[in-house]
Structure formats: structure tokens, C-alpha cells
Amino acid sequence: MRGTTTEYGYTMDVVAGKGHREVGHRGATPGVSTAVRLYPDDGWSLIILSNYDRVGNIVLMHIEDLIAAAD
């Protein structure tokens, strides 16, 4: 294929969010949004894949609110 290339690096954020240590990455492009969250201290992970712009982040925030309320 001729043309320009784009190089993209995958990074992970490490944060102390809502009482749980979180490692993850969120992203979106027109028509798609994703969120990956690992909770290493709790031993579980969360992966959200959506066919809509920015919906992955909205769903992630709601799930994190539910988790925080359950503690």
C-alpha cells in the first residue's frame, strides 16, 4: 500500500480511582470507543467495546460508580 504511515504507541494509565488502583487505557475513533481497566489489587478486569462514539467511557464511568457504591 502506498501512502503515509502512522505509528501509534499503546500506553497504560495507572491511577488510584474511587478507592481502587486502576491500570488501563481508553480510546475512540469515529464510530468506535473502547475502555480497558485492570484492577490488580482486586484481581479482576473490565473491557468495554462499543460501536458508538464515546459510549465506552460513559459506560466505564457508570460501572466504576456502581463498584464504588458497593464498597
pLDDT of residue 65: 87
The answer to whether position 24 is within a domain reads yes
Whose cell is 501512502? That residue is: 3
Per residue in 30-67, pLDDT (tens digit) is 899 989 999 999 898 999 999 988 788 889 889 888 88
Determine contact, residues 8/28, Cβ cutoff 8 Å: no
The answer to whether position 5 is within a domain reads no
As given in the structure block, the three cell numbers for residue 43 are 484481581
| Beta-carbon-side half-sphere exposure of residue 42 (alpha carbons within 13 Å) | 16
The answer to whether position 4 is within a domain reads no
The answer to whether position 2 is within a domain reads no
Quickly list H helices, 1-71. Answer: 55-70
Domain housing 29: 14-70
As given in the structure block, the three cell numbers for residue 30 are 469515529
The reported pTM is 0.70
How many domains, the chain? 1
As given in the structure block, the three cell numbers for residue 34 are 473502547
The answer to whether position 43 is within a domain reads yes
